[in-house]
Each structure stands twice: as structure tokens, then as C-alpha cells.
Amino acid sequence: MKSIFKICRRYVVSACLLVAVVVLINVGVLVTWLIVSYINEPREHIRQGGMELVAQELCRREDGSFFLGEAGIGRLQENGCEFALLLDASGDVAWDWQKPEEIAGHFSAGEIAAFSKWYLEGYPVVVWRYEDGGLLVFGYPKESIVRYNLAYEMSDLERGFGYVGVFFVCNAALIFGMALVSGYRFYRQLKPVGTGIDALAEGRPAKLKEQGITQYLRVKINQASRLLEQQKKELRQRDTARTEWIAGVSHDIRTPLSLIVGDADALEQDESLSDAAKKRAERIRSQSFVISRLVEDLNLTSKLSYHMQPLRMERYIPAEWMRRTVAEMLNNGEIPEEYELELQLDEGLESGEAFEGDTGLLTRALRNLIGNSVRHNPQGCRISLSGIRTEEGFCVCVEDSGSGVPEAVRRIVEEDAGADGTAYEKNADGRPHVMGLFVVKQIACAHGGRLWFEKDGQQVWMILCEK
């Protein structure tokens, strides 16, 4: 679900950036509209008491001087003029009204061209053509604004900028709200997609309604879910068929093996046979037992690999269980006389503490560990079996004085090579037999434990966690 939140966050950020761009465009359009409006629509004070009317009221006396009546002066005052000038054709001031001292009495053509559109000594000015080449100059207070022969009062501009600010805030709030609403709708559309992806990742089927803006994704997720379910079904069928086949073969082998063991045992008891023949009969019987255990291990490891072996959990006391298992192996002749078996239990187990586990599987694991030392040391050795109580649980250690577990076997077991139960004794590829140890590892893992080697394979450790 974190990926969905990241997508939505990026979507909201992108939407906000889009909002900012839209708002800036709106502001630009608004400012442009205001400028155009001011250019195309004369200001109120120019329309009502304009320069043309002032020019008409400015009269020339007989001596050549100029005179502006009270009506004209009143019009200038009403329009907010600070001063007024009349320049003749040569640039001299022929008439003035309230001319500031800092303003000169003569102007060149360049100076006239400069202040005609901008400022004269800091005063915003506008100009109007007068008869006979004269030029009327109207000056406004320094705190006013003049652009291109148009006058703007500061109060109007301040009010206009206030409107722009309100327009900006409203635009931003509106579009941001729309972005949030759109983001929420987008999240609602993506949430089922994320749920479906999580289900597929956890191995569960996903079935989404194929609608909305994420319809394409939903269709693909449903297709992937159906494909994975079909593959899982085929794998289960294959695993079941393999397990059933191995179980069937194992069952079919048991009957002839039982006959072979029975005949070999009868031959051993036949007094008419020579000692050499009896020895061969004993070898046949012992190897038949080896084949039987291999078949059983093959069947068991197959079931454990495909989780088809149920655990029959029960309470057991490790000390009693280990003593019983060792006694059975000695009584059954599974440990020849040339092997010395030693059992050691720490005080933590001698107290009679009980654990939970499948004693049938645990017995198989212990038999395999001891049998492994016997198999790798045909000349005989000393086998030390230890039971230890640790913080993790119950630990079993099998140590022999012989060659120990070969490195090739340790590597295969640790890397889980051949964990499907296909490993066997020195096949064509030269792979060593590891099935027995694989079974031990699988049983330990089924009980929440693990298997590892120490002292170059002379020590094999199996820990069984307490359930």
C-alpha cells in the first residue's frame, strides 16, 4: 500500500504545480486586461475636464500674453493637477500655473520628447497640443503614476492590486480543492489495484472489478491472478502425482524386500551351509535393510518437501526418548559391535523437562544421524550422542571419531541441493548420498529448528525449538 500513497503524493504535487501555473496565467491575463482597459478607456478626470477643454479656455491677450480664467483653473484643480505650463514653438515657458521652482523656463526638443511620456523633475506629466505649435503640459503630484499620456491615481492602482490578490487566492483555493478531490478519487481508484498486487505478492488470488480509470490495470491483475492460480494448481497436481508415485514405488518395493530379508535370514540359520555362504546371506539381509531405509527416506523426504507429511505433535521427555531410541537400535543390530556408542545428557534434560514434537519423525532423524556415522566409517569408530538444553530449545549432537561427514555432502546439504529427494548414493554424476541428512534437516525445520556441522563434519548438530 505504500506504493499507492507514493503515487497519490506525486499526483497531488503535480496537480499543485499545475495549479500554480494556471494561477500565474490567470494573473497575467488579468494584468494584461487591466492595462488594455486603461489604454482603451480614458480616465474619468480626463474625460470630464480634459486637456482639450483647458486648452480652449486658455486665452491670448492683445499683448501676446496668455490668460486662464477661473473656470479653467477650477478644472485643473478638480482633476488633481499640481501645475500647468504652456510651451511655445521654441521651447520657452509662455504661460504657467503654480510652476515649481525646480522646473526650468526653457526646454530643448529632446527634453520635451523625454518628459512627454514620462516625468518632469519627478512629476508625472501629460501633454496636449496647443495652437500655433504650442504644447500644454499638465503636471500631477509625485505620488501619482503616469504611463503613455495616461494618468493613474495611486488609490486606483492600490485597489486594483487588492483585487488581483483576492483573485489569486480564490483561484488557488479553488484549484487546490479540485486537485485534492481529484487526488482522493484517484486514490480510491488505485486502492483496489494495490490490494490486488498485495494479494498476488502474498500468494492469494485477486479478483477486481474491471471498471474505472484503472480498468486496464485491474484487467491485467485479474489475468495474472488467474494465471498464477492455474500454475499453482498444476504444481500441486504435479507434486501430488510425484509424491503418490514415490509412495507407490516404495510400497511395491517393500514386499520383495521382505521376501529377500526372510530368505536371507533363513539361509543364515541353515546349518547345512558353509560359513562363507552364511556370511553372504547376512550381507544380503543387511543391505536389504539399507535399501528399505533408503526407500523410506525417499518417501518421507518427498512428503516433507511438498508439505504432505502431517506432524503428529505430542509431549515427550527428551532423555527418555533418546535412551529408548538408542536401545532399540542396539537391540535390532543397527549398530554393529565394532562401533562404540556413548550417550550423554546434561542436567537440564535429566530433570524430566518435556517438549512437543512428532516422536516418529524425531526418531527417524536420530536414527539417520547415528546411521550416517556408521555409513561413513565402515572400519568402526566411537560415536558420542549428546542431548543439551539451550535457550533456543532442545539440541542433539552426534560426534564420531572417524572421518566425519565429507565436505561434498556438507556443501550439498547446506545449499539444499537435491532437496527434492532425488539425491542417492554415488550416482552417475558422482554426487554423494545426502538423502538421510536431508531428511534430518527437513524434520528439524518442520519443528522450527535447523541442522549444521562443526569440526569438519565430525559433529552434526540438530536443534529442535520448543513449541
40 contacts: CB under 8 Å, gap ≥ 6: none
From residue 14, how far is each of 9, 20, 336 by CA, in Å?
9, 10, 79
Give me the pLDDT at residue 41, please: 47
Encode the chain (467 residues) as per-residue pLDDT tens digits.
554 565 566 666 666 776 677 777 777 766 776 666 555 544 444 434 467 788 888 888 888 788 888 888 888 888 888 899 988 888 888 899 998 988 988 998 888 888 877 788 888 888 888 877 788 888 888 876 544 444 455 665 666 667 777 777 887 888 888 778 877 877 787 788 888 888 888 888 888 888 777 777 888 888 888 888 888 777 777 766 666 666 666 666 777 877 887 878 788 788 888 888 888 888 887 777 777 777 777 767 666 766 666 778 888 888 898 899 989 888 877 788 888 888 888 877 777 788 888 888 888 888 888 888 888 888 888 888 888 888 888 888 988 888 778 888 888 887 764 444 444 344 444 455 677 788 888 888 888 888 888 887 777 888 887 65
271 contacts: CB under 8 Å, gap ≥ 6: none
- The closest of 418, 420, 442, 445 to 432, measured between CA atoms, is 418
Structural contact between residues 186 and 49, judged by C-beta atoms closer than 8 angstroms? no
**In this structure, are strands 119-120 and 123-129 parallel, antiparallel, or unpaired?**
antiparallel
Measured between alpha carbons, how far is 80 from 155 in angstroms, rounded to an integer?
A: 13
Backbone angles phi, psi at 115, to 5 degrees: -85, -10
Angle at Cα 16 formed by Cα 13 and Cα 21, nearest 5°?
A: 130
Measured between alpha carbons, how far is 457 from 402 in angstroms, rounded to an integer?
A: 10
Residues in the chain: 467
Q: Is the pTM of this model over 0.85?
A: no
Quick one: how far is CA 210 from the chain centroid? Answer: 24
Angle at Cα 390 formed by Cα 386 and Cα 392, nearest 5°?
A: 125
Measured between alpha carbons, how far is 173 from 314 in angstroms, rounded to an integer?
A: 68
For 225-232, the CB contacts below 8 A with 24+ separation are 225/196, 225/199, 225/200, 228/200, 229/205, 232/203
Give me the pLDDT at residue 2, please: 52
- The closest of 112, 119, 137 to 127, measured between CA atoms, is 137
Structural contact between residues 359 and 390, judged by C-beta atoms closer than 8 angstroms? no
Strand partners for 151 = 146
Give me the pLDDT at residue 266, please: 83
Measured between alpha carbons, how far is 170 from 192 in angstroms, rounded to an integer?
A: 34
Give me the pLDDT at residue 243, please: 64
Which stretch of DSSP H or E encloses residue 100?
A: none
Measured between alpha carbons, how far is 329 from 307 in angstroms, rounded to an integer?
A: 28
